[in-house]
Structure 1
Amino acid sequence: MSREDLLASLMAQARNEGAELVTLRAIVEEASVLATDRALERLGLGDAGAEDDLGELRELLQAWRDAKTSAWKALVEWIIRGALALLLVGIAVRLGAWDLL
């Protein structure tokens, strides 16, 4: 029995016998599963390889985040090194060590 058939039978049961809480919960659960399946199909993620594709996309996104973090760290390190180099040059000039060069 497919999910559509199961949902249809639950709806018929609710109509014929009255809507008990268990029946209503089953209807909601089956409807949500069907809606999820349809949404995944529309997004192109309904096939068997979709899980692997999502895993690869997550790995790619994590690699991008790691690269971005590394780039920012490297930029900050270079700015600090440049500032320290300028400070050392300033100290050398102030102490007269520039004349020794």
Structure 2
Amino acid sequence: MGQTTITNEELEAMLDRAARKGAKEALASIGLLDDSAQRDITEMRSLLEAWRDTRKSIWNTVTKVITVSILTFIAGAVWMNLGK
């Protein structure tokens, strides 16, 4: 049985074609191979950034509400003790 040899360039070309084909199949399997894929990814990134900003804002608001509540309670307790 004869042996077939290929050059490094041929091997690299084969690997490159296989990688490109695999990447296209992977993108197609998740619906990102069409013309609107770039817009879809940009929108997803924008939504993710908005979600992160919202989550950060919620935590800041919760922290402020808790702080103000504690300070209000302390001020009320002091005011009640001064009134006696």
TM-score under structure 1 length normalisation: 0.73
C-alpha distance in 1 between matches for 2:50 and 2:57: 10
C-alpha distance in 2 between matches for 1:94 and 1:27: 84
Which letter does structure 1 place at the counterpart of 2:47? L
Q: Answer with 1 or 2: which has the greater Rg.
A: 1
Is 1:32 aligned with 2:12? no
CA RMSD of aligned residues (A): 1.6
Q: With CA pairs under 8 Å and 6+ residues apart, which has the higher RCO, 1 or 2?
A: 1
Equivalences for 1:13-24 in 2 at 5 Å? 16=4, 18-24=5-11
Which structure 1 residue ranges, 5 or more long, are not aligned?
Answer: 1-14
Which structure 2 residue ranges, 5 or more long, are not aligned?
Answer: none
Is 1:82 aligned with 2:69? yes
Percent of residue pairs bearing the same amino acid type: 29
User: Which residue number in structure 2 is paired with residue 94 of structure 1?
Assistant: 81
C-alpha distance in 1 between matches for 2:26 and 2:35: 15
Give every structure 1 segment of 4 or more consecutive aligned residues whose post-TM-superposition deviation is greater than 6 Å: none
